[in-house]
Amino acid sequence: VNSKKGEVLLYYCYCEVKDPGKLCDWQKALCQHLHLTGKVRVASEGINGTVGGSKVATNLYIETMLSQPLFKDILCREDFKSSAGGAHCFPDLRVGVFKEIVPMGIDPKIVSYKETGIHLSPQEFHREVEQYLSQASQGQGDTILLDCRNFYESKIGHFQGCLAPDIRKFSYFPSYVDENLELFKDKRVLMYCTGGIRCERGSAYLRSKAVCREVYQLKGGIHKYLEDFPDGFYRGKLFVFDDRYAICSNEDVISACRYCGTLWDQYKLCSSQHCRQLVLTCPNCCNKGLTACCPVCQEKELRVTSGASGESVKEECECTRQRQRVPIEHVSQRTLNTGKD
C-alpha cells in the first residue's frame, strides 16, 4: 500500500460539528480501513487533515468525505490539495478531538472563522502580488504581503517581498499582530499560508483589531498557487509537516547552511536528544559532525551521558531563547498539566 506512487492529501473544512467524538471515531475507522497514515484534527468548528496512502486509497478517501452528509454541500474536490508521497510520509495515524482545528490559541467563540478576510483565487492573488511588487519597486504602496507561517517555513520558501514574522508556532501569531498594530494601520493586507487554513483564523484575528483597510487571503494557500504558477512569485520550497519536510515546484534554493553559508534547504532534526528544532546543515558540515541547531545544543550533545534522565528540556537552546515568545505564562507547564499540546 505504501508504494512510492502514493500521495499526500491536505484539506480542511469549517462547519458545525454537533458530535466531534463521533466524527473522530468515523474518521479513525475510515483511515484505518484505507491504510492511511497522517494527522486529523476534529473540533466542533470542523475538520483539518493531512493523510497519506496509495492513490486508490486517497481517491476513495476523497469520495467518502464528499458523500459524508456533514460536509456534503461545503467540501468539494477542489478543497483537497495533493502532492506526491504516501503512507510512508507519516510515522503513524493520529486522529483526535481538539478545541480548534488549527491551533491559534484563541477561543473560536471569540474570533470565529466566519469573520475571515476576502478569499482570492491563485490567479487573483498572483495579479495582486504583481501589482504590489511593481508599486514597491517605485517606493509606493499601501499593501503588506503577510506570510502567516512560522519562521522555519518562510526561511526555505516565500513570496517575493513578503513580511515573514519571526514566530515559531501559529499560537504566537496573535501576539505578533498585537505588537505590530501600527504596521497594519490603514493597510491592505494580502495573507497566505500553506493550504489556507491558518489564514482563515489569522485573517479573522487581524480583522477583529479593526486597523487594516482590507484583508485578503490566498484561497487554497501556496499549495494551490503552485499548481497554477510553479514559476510565479513564490520562490524556494514549500515546507510540509511530515517526514518529507519540503516539496518543490522550482529549482530555487533561497536558504543557507547554518554553519558554512552554502545554499541549502533540506531540513534535519537537531541531533541533540531533547531538542526538536529543525536545522539546515549541508552534507559537508554534517560530515564534520555539525548536526545540531546551535552551539548550545552541539555542546550539550557532546556532553550527553548515558544516564540522561529523559526529562523533557524540549526548548532550551540558543535559537529558542532568541525567538519571540508568547506572553510569559509558562505555557509548557500548563500544557503539560492538561496533557494537550
Q: Does residue 328 fall inside a structural domain?
A: no
285 and 210 in a single domain? The answer is no
User: Measured between alpha carbons, how far is 171 from 325 in angstroms, rounded to an integer?
Assistant: 10
User: Measured between alpha carbons, how far is 62 from 136 in angstroms, rounded to an integer?
Assistant: 41
pTM of the model: 0.83
* pLDDT (0 to 100) of residue 312: 46
93 and 192 in a single domain? The answer is no
93 and 124 in a single domain? The answer is no
137 and 224 in a single domain? The answer is yes
Task: Supply the range of the domain harboring residue 53.
Answer: 6-97
Backbone angles phi, psi at 253, to 5 degrees: -120, 115
Task: State the number of CA atoms in the 13 A half-sphere of 254 facing the CB.
Answer: 18
179 and 277 in a single domain? The answer is no
Using an 8 Å Cβ cutoff, are 207 and 115 in contact? Answer: yes
37 and 126 in a single domain? The answer is no
192 and 83 in a single domain? The answer is no
* pLDDT (0 to 100) of residue 301: 67
Q: Does residue 341 fall inside a structural domain?
A: no
Which pLDDT tens digits describe the chain residue by residue (341 residues)?
334 589 999 999 999 999 999 999 999 999 999 999 999 999 999 999 999 999 999 999 999 999 999 998 899 999 999 999 999 999 999 999 999 999 999 988 898 888 999 999 999 999 999 999 998 887 778 999 999 999 999 999 999 999 999 898 999 999 999 999 999 999 999 999 999 999 999 999 999 999 999 999 999 999 999 999 999 999 999 998 888 889 887 888 999 999 999 999 999 988 887 777 889 999 999 999 899 888 888 777 666 544 444 444 455 566 665 554 443 333 333 333 334 33
* pLDDT (0 to 100) of residue 271: 87
Q: Which three cell numbers stand for residue 276?
A: 526538536
User: Measured between alpha carbons, how far is 11 from 220 in angstroms, rounded to an integer?
Assistant: 9
Q: Does residue 70 fall inside a structural domain?
A: yes
β-strands 46-53, 37-43 pairing = antiparallel
Distance of CA 34 to the CA centre of its chain: 25
Q: What is the DSSP string of 114-167?
A: GG--EEE-HHHHHHHHHHHHHHHHTT---EEEEE-S-HHHHHHEEETT-B----
Class of residue 4 by CB neighbours under 10 A (exposed 0-12, middle 13-18, buried 19+): exposed
* pLDDT (0 to 100) of residue 322: 58
* Rounded (5°) CA angle 158-265-162: 15
Domain of residue 203, CATH code: 3.40.250.10
Which residues are identified as catalytic? 193
Sign of the C-alpha dihedral computed for residues 227, 230, 232 and 238 taken in this order: positive
User: Measured between alpha carbons, how far is 24 from 19 in angstroms, rounded to an integer?
Assistant: 9
The number of folded domains in the chain is 3
* pLDDT (0 to 100) of residue 316: 59
Cβ neighbors of 13 (< 8 A, separation 6 or more) are 46, 47, 48, 71, 74, 75, 79
154 and 61 in a single domain? The answer is no
Q: Does residue 251 fall inside a structural domain?
A: no
Residue 195's nearest CA partner among 171, 169, 227 is: 227
Domain of residue 71, CATH code: 3.30.70.100
* pLDDT (0 to 100) of residue 311: 46
